Amino acid sequence: MTRPTVAVLRPDDNRIAEAVRYLRSLNVSPVPDPMLTIEPTGQSPWHADYCIFTSKTGVDLAAADGWEQRETIVCAVGDQTATALRNHGYSVGVVPSSFSSTGLVDELSADIDGKTVELARSAHGSNVLIEGLNAAGAVVHETHLYHLRRPETAGHSLSHAVDGELDGILFTSPKTVDHFFQIASEYDAVAALQHELEETVVGAIGGPTERAVLENGSTVNVVPDTVSFTRLVEVTVDQIQRVQQ
C-alpha cells in the first residue's frame, strides 16, 4: 500500500512537532504547514463564580500568569482542556458531554441565573457562548488571553493540494481553515483547490471546524467522535487506506 501524504496545519509550537512524529509513527508522510501562531495578550482571567476555558492554550497561558482558582467553579470545553487544567493543579467542575459551546450552555443553564461567569479564551471565539450564557441569566465577562495570527511562512501545503499531491489534510480549528483558504484566495487558487480536495480525504475536528470548511466550498470526509488530534489522525488515515484499497 502506498505511503499516504497528509498535510498537518497545527500551530507553530510543540504541537506541530508532535503531530509530525505521530504521523510518521503511522507510516504517513507529513506535510507540516503551521497555519497559526499564538500571540498572548498578557491578560489574566477575572475571578467569578464560574470560569470557562475553551482550549489548552488558554489554560497554559492562565497558569503561566499565576491565575488562582480560589472558589471559582472551573469549566472546560473538551477533555483536552480539562486534562490541561488538571495538569496545572486546577479542579474541573464541569465538562459537558457534548464538547461544544452549545453543550456547555446546556450543562450550565439551570445553575447560572444571577451568577458571574468569566470566559477565558482567544480573541476569535464565536458569540454562541456569550449569547447562551446571557440568555440563561448569567453576568458574563470575557477576557482575551491570546490572538491567533497567520505565520508568514504559512502556505506551502497549498501547492501540494492544488497539484493533487495530498492524500489527506487535517483541519483542527476554524481559524486554521480560514487562513488556509485565505492563502488560496491570495494566489487565485480557490477553484483549483476545491477541485483537488474532492479527491483528498479532508478531516476536521468538531462541528465549527467542519462548518468552516463547508463555508469555503469544500466537503469534509471525516469528523472524529472526540475533539482529539490523535483521533482525527487515526480516522483520517483509516479513510485514506480504505480509498487506496
Please state, in angstroms and rounded to a whole number, the distance separating the CA atoms of residues 90 and 73.
10
The tens-digit pLDDT sequence of the chain (245 residues) is 579 999 999 999 999 999 999 999 999 999 999 999 999 999 999 999 999 999 999 999 999 999 999 999 999 988 889 999 999 999 999 988 776 777 888 889 889 999 999 999 999 888 888 999 999 999 999 999 999 999 999 999 999 999 999 999 999 999 999 999 999 999 999 999 999 999 999 999 988 899 999 999 999 999 998 878 999 999 999 999 998 87
The answer to whether 46 and 118 are in contact (CB under 8 A) is: yes
Where helices occur in 65-140 by DSSP H, the ranges are 79-87, 101-108, 128-135
> Residue 33, exposed/middle/buried by CB under 10 A (0-12, 13-18, 19+)?
buried
Q: Which fold has domain 5-37+153-244?
A: Rossmann fold (3.40.50)
pLDDT at 124: 87
Cell of 178: 480560514
User: Residues 1, 107: contact at Cβ < 8 Å?
Assistant: no
How high is the pLDDT of residue 1? 59
Write down the pTM of the prediction: 0.84
CA 148 to CA 170: how far, in whole Å? 18
pLDDT for the residue numbered 99: 60
H or E stretch at 184: helix 174-186
Pairing relationship of beta strands 139-149 and 37-40 according to DSSP bridges:
antiparallel
What are the extents of the domains in the chain? 5-37+153-244, 42-122
pLDDT of residue 11: 93
Provide the 10 A C-beta neighbour count for residue 197.
Answer: 22
Q: Tell me, what's the pLDDT at 226?
A: 81
